[in-house]
Structure 1
Amino acid sequence: MRPLRIPWIQASLAWVLASWMRLCFVTMRWSRENEAAAQAVWDQGGGVLCVFWHSRLSLAPGAWPLDRAQPVKGLISLSADGEFLAKAMARVGFPAVRGSSANKDKAAQAKGGSQALRDGLRQLKVGGLAITPDGPRGPAGVMAEGLGVMARMSGAPVVLMGLSCNPAIRLNSWDQAILPLPFGRAAIVWDVVAWPEGGETAAVLADWTERLNAAEARADALVGAGRN
């Protein structure tokens, strides 16, 4: 049995991860660029899609200012790994909307995805929904069409979040996720987009991919982190 399928191990590790993130968030020196664009979205209230690559998931809660911005829920997969992340993120102020995972059971996957879409659209009527568009299984850096469906159906603004920190531990995972270290440097670069009227999904997601990559590259440059 995988350790993350054992409830007490899952809960204990979630507590450890959340405690580690909180320590990092309060000790890192943050740089922020183009925050005025995000501030305009926060000021207007209502729904907002918060989008960042899966590899930077551990930084996102520290970048989103809960004292000024809309409350956010994270779209997290139905897998055991997703349950672990959901527990950890809830501890740092980001409860979950559970979505489908890369389940071999196609019927269960479709059912989970449909429920996540309904719950996500419901959340976007009142606040923010955080999405890693290349999660939960990748390919890394490739936006799934689900983000386009959410943006088109909700009409919510999309806040692209380029995130980075230095120093950091880079995990040997499918997305080469980074785990911040305390007392380092961190950066958030904001970019705000919206679904264009009559937009074609592939073209819009290609544009958003380019812009998110640019924001993340700028964040890497601000903290002196190398790009892969």
Structure 2
Amino acid sequence: MRPLRSRWIMVALTNLMAGYLRLTYATLRWTHEDRSRAEKVWADSLASNSGAILALWHSRVPVGPTAWPQGPDKPQIRVLVSQSRDGEFIARVIAKLGLPSIRGSSLKKTDTAKNKGGEQAFRDMVKWVRDGGAMAITPDGPRGPVEDLQKGAVALARVTGAPVLFVGIAMRPCIRLDTWDRTIIPLPFARAAMVWDGPATAGRDDDPDALAPAWGARLSAVSRRAEAIVGERQAVPAP
């Protein structure tokens, strides 16, 4: 996004988007399904000072903060955000919403020579989760393929032993951006749904090649369920 190359435009858009999202979140009319799954993970994490992992598809980034409201009854959460200019915008917006980020991108399968902070970001995430924090990831981001869960999510779960929660979020009406993943922008007073699955765990002996598609299917399933609740037609094709 070329406008984001300007410092002043970046600041203005960040303030505008953060303010819009904060006000819009307060007006959404929610239906929650299987929230008890998340509540149990939150409680267990606090009781044992152990971490947790939240997975949602990249298209839900603008409404992701609604999945983990801040408060003493939940572990603190950080968000993995790419080091791109678009990622800088996202990081600034969610920071204004009270969510700090860890910056980095996964290695591209087609270009292993470029490491956009992925290795350091992974180490930072492992330390944060092992210290009892929660980590939010979009396992098909930042460039897709759409709803194709990459093995980095499985690797984080295997190394830390933390439980993984899958959350599907949908709302109607909403704006769908003309991006690779048809990103959702919420509209005020929209009907919204949040559906949970999990927790899932991964041991060091588990096969990432088998877990990744299985977990991706679960994340897509809760996303389709949330869309069905609000009556939104599926806008993102299956991988």
Give the whole-Å Cα distance in 2 for the aligned partners of 1:208 and 1:105: 25
Does residue 210 of structure 1 match 2:217? yes
Task: Give the match for residue 156 of structure 1.
Answer: 162
Contact 1:79 1:101 in 2 (8 A): no
Within 5 A, what are the aligned runs for 1:9-28?
Answer: 9-28=9-28
Does residue 136 of structure 1 match 2:145? no
Within 5 A, what are the aligned runs for 1:51-200?
Answer: 51-67=55-71, 68-100=73-105, 107=113, 109-110=114-115, 112-125=117-130, 126-192=132-198, 193-196=200-203, 198-200=205-207
TM (norm. structure 2) is 0.90
Give the whole-Å Cα distance in 1 for the aligned partners of 2:106 and 2:13: 21
Determine helix, strand or coil for the equivalent of 2:119. helix
Task: Give the match for residue 227 of structure 1.
Answer: 234
Report the CA distance between 1:127 and its aligned residue.
0.9
Q: Which segments of structure 1 move beyond 2 Å, counting only runs of 4 or more?
A: 100-107
Report the CA distance between 1:82 and its aligned residue.
0.4
Give the whole-Å Cα distance in 2 for the aligned partners of 1:106 and 1:195: 25
% identity of equivalent residues: 43
Compute the RMSD of aligned alpha carbons.
Answer: 1.9
Change (3 A) 1:215 1:24: same
Mind listing any 5+ residue stretches in structure 1 that lack a counterpart?
Answer: none
Change (3 A) 1:166 1:122: same
Q: Which amino acid aligns with 1:56?
A: R
Deviations 1:153-193 (A, max 9, x none): 01110010111111100000011111000011111111111
TM (norm. structure 1) is 0.94
Q: Which amino acid aligns with 1:224?
A: G
Farther-moved stretch of structure 1 (58-67 vs 150-159) = 58-67
Contact 2:58 2:139 in 1 (8 A): yes
Give the whole-Å Cα distance in 1 for the aligned partners of 2:91 and 2:143: 16
Contact 2:56 2:219 in 1 (8 A): yes
Give the whole-Å Cα distance in 2 for the aligned partners of 1:111 and 1:141: 21
Q: How many residues align?
A: 227
Q: Which amino acid aligns with 1:63?
A: A
Task: Give the match for residue 42 of structure 1.
Answer: 42
Determine helix, strand or coil for the equivalent of 2:75. coil
Change (3 A) 1:34 1:196: farther
Report the CA distance between 1:65 and its aligned residue.
2.3
Give the whole-Å Cα distance in 2 for the aligned partners of 1:111 and 1:27: 37
Report the CA distance between 1:76 and its aligned residue.
0.3
Give the whole-Å Cα distance in 2 for the aligned partners of 1:82 and 1:33: 30
Q: Which amino acid aligns with 2:232?
A: A
Q: Which amino acid aligns with 2:66?
A: G
